[in-house]
């Protein structure tokens, strides 16, 4: 996963962020912290599989998020279906 | 004062040819040439136990299980039970990244522990059982 793809997901899902050594990003719903991930400042691709697991998405769902066919509301429904909300 | 090299005496033949001349027929020359490599292949463990975070604020009281893998030419160190990972160009970098990330995760979840969703609550339960503040 490219850094700009990560940033696109963070924006589409409306995740909160904090810039430290890495960019920390977490998804909040109704005041609760639901998922959490991060983007390293280092070079090279980010580990797709591990970020997918942290966001509690399937491979296809993460690809949909990258191509912008999955947005915030869709993510909420996925997380609700998994009992994470 | 004599040098160390000057004081050391080697005995016995120093070459195969010399040995052959002293003891004809006793030297067996291998049929297969020996290939010298510049470096040995590095063996990367499939998993290991992590017992330190290298963070003065935190200590591990029950080692974290870490699974090592490779993705896109990078080494990935994953603490599966925490759903957290570190990565880098080699194993040392990946583990250092994981240690830093787990420490950061602990501190963030500790600060937010009253408002964690079920997934992160489970992570916090594991974290707080395995890691303690100093």
Q: DSSP readout, B21-87?
A: HHSTT-PPPPSSPPPPPSSPPPP--SEEEE-----TTEEESSPEEEEEEEETTEEEEEEGGGTEEEE
Q: Do B120 and A24 touch (CB under 8 A)?
A: no
Least confident of A37-41, B11-15, B103-107, B118-122: B11-15
Question: Domain containing B81: what range?
Answer: 47-133
The mean per-residue pLDDT over the stretch B66-92 comes to 93
Residue B75 lies in a domain: yes
Residue B10 has pLDDT above 70, yes or no: no
Q: A48 CB near a chain B CB, below 8 Å?
A: yes
Distance between A63 CA and the closest CA of chain B, angstroms: 17
What total number of domains does chain A contain?
A: 1
Q: Is the pLDDT confidence value at B6 over 80?
A: no
- Whether residue A23 contacts residue A39, with contact meaning beta carbons closer than 8 Å, is answered with yes
Domain that holds residue A49: 3-81
Q: Has residue B82 got a pLDDT over 70?
A: yes
**Partners of residue A36 in chain B, C-beta under 8 Å:** 105, 108, 120
Confidence of residue B77 (pLDDT cuts 50, 70, 90): very high
Q: In this predicted complex, what is the ipTM?
A: 0.89
| Residue B77 near residue B98 (C-beta atoms within 8 A) | yes
pLDDT above 70 (res B99): yes
Is there a domain that residue B114 lies in? Answer: yes
Is the pLDDT at B9 greater than 70? The verdict is no
**Is residue B19 in some structural domain?**
no
B6: in domain: no
Residue B54 in domain: yes
Given a contact cutoff of 8 angstroms between Cβ atoms, the answer to whether B78 and B64 are in contact is: no
Residue B29 domain-assigned (yes or no) = no
User: How far is Cα B4 from Cα A22, in angstroms, rounded to an integer?
Assistant: 54
**CA distances (Å), origin B121, targets B89, B114, B124, B127:** 32, 9, 5, 10
Which residue in chain B is spatially nearest to A85 when comparing CA positions?
Answer: B117
Q: Averaged over A30-51, what is the pLDDT?
A: 88
- The dihedral sign for the CA sequence B68, B70, B71, B73: positive
Q: What is the least distance, in Å, from the CA of B41 to any CA of chain A?
A: 24
* A83:B118 CB<8 A: yes
- Name chain A contacts of B73, Cβ cutoff 8 Å: 44
pLDDT of B39 over the 80 cut: no
Q: Using the predicted structure, report yes or no on whether residue A74 has a pLDDT greater than 90.
A: yes
pLDDT at A37 over 80: yes
Whether residue B23 lies inside any domain: the answer is no
CB contact under 8 A, B117 and A83: no
Q: Give me the percent of chain B exceeding a pLDDT of 70.
A: 75
Looking at CA atoms only, how far is residue B80 from chain A in angstroms?
10
Q: Using CA atoms, how far apart are residues A71 and B9, in angstroms rounded to an integer?
A: 79
- Which chain B residues are closer than 8 Å to A2 by Cβ? none
Which of the residue ranges A53-57, A73-77, B7-11, B71-75 would you say has the lowest mean pLDDT? B7-11
Cβ pairs A/B, distance under 8 A: 54
Sequence-separated (6 or more) residues with CB below 8 Å from residue A7: A39
pLDDT at B16 over 70: no
B1 vs A5 pLDDT, higher one: A5
Whole-number Å distance between alpha carbons of A22 and A25 = 9
**Cβ pair B69, B45 in contact under 8 A:** no
Span A15-40, mean pLDDT?
Answer: 94
Contact check, Cβ <8 Å, B85/A32: no
Is A14 an 8 Å CB contact of chain B? Answer: no
Q: How far is A24 from chain B (nearest CA, A)?
A: 10
Tens-digit pLDDT profile for residues B105-120: 999 999 999 999 999 9
Is B3 among the domain residues? no
Domain count, chain B: 1
What is the pLDDT, as a whole number, of residue B25?
Answer: 74
């Amino acid at each position: 996963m490219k850094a700009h793809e990560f940033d696109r997901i963070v924006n589409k899902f409306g995740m909160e962020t904090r810039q430290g050594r890495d960019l920390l990003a977490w998804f909040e719903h109704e005041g609760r912290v639901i998922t959490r991930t991060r983007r390293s400042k280092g070079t090279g691709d980010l580990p797709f599989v591990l970020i997918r697991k942290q966001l509690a998405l399937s491979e296809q769902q993460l690809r949909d998020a990258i191509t912008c066919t999955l947005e915030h509301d869709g993510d909420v429904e996925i997380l609700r279906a998994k009992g994470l909300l | 004062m004599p040098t160390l090299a000057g004081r050391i005496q080697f005995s016995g033949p120093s070459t195969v040819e010399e040995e052959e001349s002293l003891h004809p027929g006793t030297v067996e020359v291998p049929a297969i040439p020996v290939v010298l490599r510049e470096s040995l292949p590095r063996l990367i463990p499939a998993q290991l136990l992590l017992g330190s975070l290298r963070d003065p604020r935190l200590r591990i009281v029950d080692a974290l299980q870490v699974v090592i893998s490779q993705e896109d030419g990078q080494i990935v160190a994953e603490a599966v039970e925490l759903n957290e990972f570190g990565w880098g160009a080699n194993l040392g970098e990946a583990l250092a990244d994981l240690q830093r990330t787990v420490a950061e995760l602990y501190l963030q979840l500790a600060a937010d522990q009253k408002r964690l969703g079920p997934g992160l609550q489970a992570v916090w339960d594991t974290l707080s059982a395995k890691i303690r503040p100093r």
